[in-house]
Structure 1
Amino acid sequence: MASDQDIVEKIDHVSSLCTERVILKAILGRGDGGAGLIGEKVVIGGWVKSSWEIRKEAAQPRPVLAADAASPEVVGAKEMRCMEILQSRIPLVRYIVKVLGGGDHSVREKFVMQKAPKDSTSILQISDGSCVHNLRVLVDSALATPCQVMPCGTCILVEGILQQPLMKGKYQVIELKTEKILHLGTVDQYKYPLSKKRLPLESLRNFPHFRPRTTTVASVMRIHNALTLATHTFFQDQGFLHVQTPIITTNNSETLSKKFQVTTLLNNGKIDNQLVNSLEFSKDFFSQETYLIDCGHFHLESQACALGNVYSFGPRFKAEKSSESNNLLAETWMVDVEMAFSELEDAMDCADEFLKFVCKRILESCTEDIQFILKRIDKAVMDRLQLIISSSFEKISYDVAIEVLTEATGNKFEKKIEWGDSLTEEHESYLVNEIYTKPVIIYNHPKEIKSFYAKLNEDGKTVATFDVVLPKVGTLVRGSQSEECFDKLRTRIEELELPKQQYEWFLDLRKNGAAKTSGFNLMLEPLVLYATGLNDVKDVVPFPRSFGRAKF
């Protein structure tokens, strides 16, 4: 049994350095559910998820005699009993006032507040976003009226004593008896979108500023956070150095993708086609054409050639209408990895180990959230994570993949596959779900469908690249070995008629101490989809940006 000092120290360790507030995970996430903290005084804050009210029983009035019927005291008693009846119907009164009252809302609210019972206790289920479970908080009407604290979404910061619950529930091991209210942020319950019954995720996209308050989205955000932390932990433990790459660049590393252009050459904040065609970029802010970066490979390779193994984690941008896809966004967060003195096989092995590590870490650190997802979203999420951890990824060449898909006569694909084509989602799904039933690594793609800087293989037709394809989300990782030969890379640039001046510095790396390098990149949002069972990346990003959508 922990001592009182141990309990206090335990609470102190999880409270913020800048506030006395204790996060609910520190209380409810204990092995005993918080029972060992009974009797402790704490400050907690959060938002009301649900609530109800308990009325305190009043003393029974004495029988009224006929002789007393006209006395002022009896009249007052009758009026009080009528008022008690009215108070017991406060939800109905509120509804009638809402429908018939018209006028100013604040007046109607005052009416309801005045009719609130003086002796009652508000029972609040509070969440602060730190864990799945809520803490039951008791607020006496002497501290705040029920209509102030009970509406869903009300923000409250209180000081009180942790105690055994007066009414035990399935998950209730402990509750908080409020002694002092330190902050109260009220809610317009008639307009607050989460006051309604549970909304589907599609509807919640219209309220991105509120949806993290839902249990589902909060769990997804915590898993998102855990994946971010696991990413840094893996590469730091493996001796990689975290470096930054610019967001604004003059290069386009992915030559097949469209770019977002960055310019200050606007006409009173507006731009039209005629102006675009006549822009003089020499007069622009950077004196040349610039774009939002879509991949950090170029800049990362330059640092790998000096620092060894490096990685970057930051935003990337692609102006593709394919961002309407459930797996793609115009603005995404990407992990870019580059390793010096390495070849394609090394990058494939690193990607394999990275995915195994982060999936294992999620199962270990997000147990409650995974259990919630199993019940509410996807019953297969645990099996899917275990599949990556325990499977030996199947490695097949692009040639083999085309051969397998061509022989799949019983499966009618919407698009007939031929050598030289990029694999579609249905092709990838067939390989991982029907043929191999586990993650698949496809390597050595035709040079026409991959980046120009990938190392040319001896056959002259394919390049040293690979894709990691997973069930549910398709291609999650894309990697390659870079072409270290100056002449071959320059020839490739000329073949594609790329602007040579943009890539002079990249070619310089091949003329001055060139090293073999390989690496890969991974978009974080599809990985969150894989770990949560959701079907659309717009539901795993707080404020998603996609084609035609940039709210808030």
Structure 2
Amino acid sequence: MDSEKAMASAPATATSTTTQLIPFKYSNRVLLKTILDRSDGGLELVGERVLIGGWVKSSKEVMKQTPPPPPPAADHAPAREPEPKSDVSCVEILQSRIPFLRTIVKVLGGSSSNNTLRERIDAVLKPAPPSTAFLKISDGSCPASLQVVVESSIVPPCQLLHTGTCVTVEGVLQQSVVKGKHVVELRVEKVLHIGTVDYSEYPLSKKRVPIEKLRECFHIRARTTTVGSVMRIRSALTFGAHTFCHNHGFISVQVPILTSTDCNGFSKKYKVTGLFDKADQKEEPKAIAEIEGVNLEAIKAAAKEKSSLVEELKRTDSNKEALAAAVLDLRKTNELASQLEAREKSKLKTSQKVDNVKSSEGSSSSQTFLTVSGRLHLESYACSLGNVYSFGPRFRADKGESPKHVPEMLMFEIEMAFSQLEDVINCADEFFKFLCKWVLENCPEDMKFVTERIDKNRVDRLQSVISSSFERISYAEALNVLNKVTDKKVETNLQWGAALTEEDLSHLSDEIYKKPVIVYNYPKETKPFYVRLNDDGKTVAAFDMIVPKIGKLTSGSQNEERTHILSTRIKDLGLPREQYEWYLDLRRHGTVKHSGFSLEFDLMVLFATGLTDVRDAIPFPRSYGKAKY
């Protein structure tokens, strides 16, 4: 019989293990996404005991109704005294002695002046009415929050109710009593940690803080549902981009941030120098500061005279006090000479360093910058490994603020050997569509929140990009199309060779074609020196991908593999040839046709989320003069 019962209970055990929650490997807590992201909202987990941690998003306290006092006993039935308990608590003892304590207060002084004292004692001794705290807890793993129910008998609600309070609690999942947003709730049995918050100073104490205001507190703003969703989408896009490259055989290569090569030839760059601020230099010792103007040779001469005096005192066998004073005086003079000598050497070294830095700044071949693009460095590895990519920060020294650009932005760059312009356009097309599909498949809950709170058409726009073909037009065709538009708000009558502005490009995708547009074969004057010259001698094999509401998202090109033409381009643009000798070597030693592109990753996040300002899509955006974090 026992064995039959065991066999009968086996399937139930197997079923329960399938729904059992597995804690996070590196702590004991269960991530809320494993509860709330289920199709049934976590209903199958009812009865599970879990430990969770997170921050209070909102809260409320509900007072319980106290039961009415029991009716008095009948006169003819004498009340029977209860049996004394051995485990009486301190609270029960105080409550039983309340009348006695009040009598003491009256004896000490029953005048009106003691009313305040009596009120304070009553407030302390009077037990707080029972209540229940309902907390909405978020741990950052998903946009949804879990309702946590804590009785006042476990922890006073006043410790838990403030928005931003961090808690770690343990309890049992139960079906929510009130039908609505929450399918399940956690009935708390233990409170293991409370991280209090200074509510008067907490930036998120108010509900619905505008996203512009959140830029003033980058270190806290990720606790909001909006920024949390954006960062999870950003993380998914990062992984998706690496996955695309891994699936297509690209090798990851880290390119340098410090470089002496001007990758574009016309971008504003941050120059790196070795000069130090005066505030960073160590202060000289006080003893040296006080002897400014004293000659080192004079000190050495004085030390020599005092040394002779000491020797003479030793020979004449003078009194010990005079000899000791002379020795002490000589020692101080020698120490002063040593300090002066060390200072002179230090000044000489500093002067040499400054001269070297100034010399390097005066020589264009030795200037060092923060990189604008890593494509030139990637070429060297593409010409050895075939297909490579890099992901990292790129810098532009633009002082003006723009919703689409800040000085430091992340760039995803791909470089391929044995490929031409059409190949790289196809790769950029598929890469962009892959990322759009990836975010829809891997961030369904966050995209649902984005649709509700940021842009109701965002999911539809992403699906449209995946299913549609991009418009591909040449620069000449783009010029003709723009010049025919009569209601265009931007400049009309564009001439050949004019650089297409952000407004021009955005008008093509937003108003004319209403989908992503790829413009290729630009005039050679508008693109960097390394882009391959076409057979017409006027245009180069470059392209830009323009996306609705964003503008230019991707720029790429087939790069010049012919040594003589590349050398001519460097000379015509007046670039220092010595900086690009290593780059020319790639053409001298086993040249190959190759191409690549750069995708501005932060703008990709902007497109996926529907935000309008790139500063809201970057964890810690760097603006000119605003890098306090």
Counterpart CA distance in 1 for 2:579 and 2:126 is 74
Compared CA separation, residues 4 and 43, structure 1 to 2 (3 A): farther
Are 1:7 and 1:37, in contact at CA under 8 Å, matched by a contact in 2? no
Q: Is it true that 1:153 corresponds to 2:164 in the alignment?
A: yes
In the TM superposition, residue 10 of structure 1 has moved relative to its aligned partner by 6.0
Partner residue of 1:24? 32
Partner residue of 2:374? 296
- Superposed counterparts of 1:13-162, under 5 Å: 13=22, 15-61=23-69, 117=128, 119-162=130-173
Q: Is it true that 1:234 corresponds to 2:244 in the alignment?
A: yes
- Superposed counterparts of 1:273-288, under 5 Å: 279-280=357-358, 282=360, 288=366
Compared CA separation, residues 222 and 114, structure 1 to 2 (3 A): farther
Are 2:58 and 2:161, in contact at CA under 8 Å, matched by a contact in 1? yes
In the TM superposition, residue 115 of structure 1 has moved relative to its aligned partner by 8.6
Partner residue of 2:275? 265
Are 1:116 and 1:145, in contact at CA under 8 Å, matched by a contact in 2? no
Are 1:11 and 1:22, in contact at CA under 8 Å, matched by a contact in 2? no
- Superposed counterparts of 1:62-461, under 5 Å: 117=128, 119-168=130-179, 170-269=180-279, 279-280=357-358, 282=360, 288-322=366-400, 324-414=401-491, 416-461=493-538
Counterpart CA distance in 2 for 1:269 and 1:194 is 37
Compared CA separation, residues 60 and 12, structure 1 to 2 (3 A): closer
Counterpart CA distance in 1 for 2:225 and 2:155 is 26
5+ long unaligned stretches in structure 2: 1-10, 74-94, 103-121, 282-352
Of 262-271 and 455-464, more deviation after overlay is shown by: 262-271
The DSSP-based 3-state class of the residue aligned with 1:513 is: coil
In the TM superposition, residue 307 of structure 1 has moved relative to its aligned partner by 0.7
Are 2:387 and 2:417, in contact at CA under 8 Å, matched by a contact in 1? yes
Compared CA separation, residues 195 and 261, structure 1 to 2 (3 A): same
Are 2:20 and 2:48, in contact at CA under 8 Å, matched by a contact in 1? no
Compared CA separation, residues 415 and 405, structure 1 to 2 (3 A): closer
Compared CA separation, residues 303 and 121, structure 1 to 2 (3 A): same
Partner residue of 2:555? 478
User: TM-score, structure 1 length as denominator?
Assistant: 0.86
Give 1 or 2 for the bigger CA radius of gyration.
Answer: 2
- The amino acid across from 2:198 in the alignment is D
- Superposed counterparts of 1:526-537, under 5 Å: 526-537=603-614
- The amino acid across from 1:427 in the alignment is D
The DSSP-based 3-state class of the residue aligned with 2:546 is: strand
Compared CA separation, residues 276 and 454, structure 1 to 2 (3 A): farther
5+ long unaligned stretches in structure 1: 66-71, 80-110
Counterpart CA distance in 2 for 1:456 and 1:542 is 39
In the TM superposition, residue 282 of structure 1 has moved relative to its aligned partner by 4.7
In the TM superposition, residue 412 of structure 1 has moved relative to its aligned partner by 4.3
Of 22-31 and 116-125, more deviation after overlay is shown by: 116-125
The DSSP-based 3-state class of the residue aligned with 1:522 is: strand
Counterpart CA distance in 1 for 2:516 and 2:592 is 31
In the TM superposition, residue 270 of structure 1 has moved relative to its aligned partner by 7.7
Partner residue of 1:545? 622
Are 1:11 and 1:26, in contact at CA under 8 Å, matched by a contact in 2? no
In the TM superposition, residue 420 of structure 1 has moved relative to its aligned partner by 1.3
Counterpart CA distance in 1 for 2:126 and 2:542 is 72
Are 2:32 and 2:139, in contact at CA under 8 Å, matched by a contact in 1? yes
Are 2:520 and 2:544, in contact at CA under 8 Å, matched by a contact in 1? yes
Counterpart CA distance in 2 for 1:424 and 1:205 is 28
Are 1:526 and 1:537, in contact at CA under 8 Å, matched by a contact in 2? yes
Compared CA separation, residues 486 and 11, structure 1 to 2 (3 A): farther
Counterpart CA distance in 2 for 1:134 and 1:514 is 57
The DSSP-based 3-state class of the residue aligned with 1:194 is: coil
Q: Is it true that 1:506 corresponds to 2:516 in the alignment?
A: no
Of 117-126 and 215-224, more deviation after overlay is shown by: 117-126
In the TM superposition, residue 293 of structure 1 has moved relative to its aligned partner by 1.1
Runs of 4+ residues over 6 Å off in structure 1: 72-75, 111-116, 275-278
- The amino acid across from 1:213 in the alignment is R
- The amino acid across from 1:46 in the alignment is G
Are 1:281 and 1:289, in contact at CA under 8 Å, matched by a contact in 2? no
The DSSP-based 3-state class of the residue aligned with 1:508 is: helix
In the TM superposition, residue 141 of structure 1 has moved relative to its aligned partner by 2.0
Counterpart CA distance in 1 for 2:170 and 2:565 is 70
- The amino acid across from 1:532 in the alignment is T
In the TM superposition, residue 58 of structure 1 has moved relative to its aligned partner by 2.0
In the TM superposition, residue 56 of structure 1 has moved relative to its aligned partner by 2.9
Counterpart CA distance in 2 for 1:113 and 1:452 is 81
Q: Is it true that 1:464 corresponds to 2:538 in the alignment?
A: no
RMSD value, Cα: 2.9
- The amino acid across from 1:33 in the alignment is G
Aligned length: 506
The DSSP-based 3-state class of the residue aligned with 1:139 is: strand
Partner residue of 1:69? none
- Aligned-pair identity in percent equals 52
- The amino acid across from 1:400 in the alignment is E
- The amino acid across from 1:206 in the alignment is E
In the TM superposition, residue 250 of structure 1 has moved relative to its aligned partner by 1.2
Counterpart CA distance in 1 for 2:563 and 2:457 is 49
Partner residue of 2:76? none
Counterpart CA distance in 2 for 1:503 and 1:112 is 82
Counterpart CA distance in 2 for 1:465 and 1:76 is 91
Compared CA separation, residues 191 and 336, structure 1 to 2 (3 A): same
In the TM superposition, residue 123 of structure 1 has moved relative to its aligned partner by 1.0
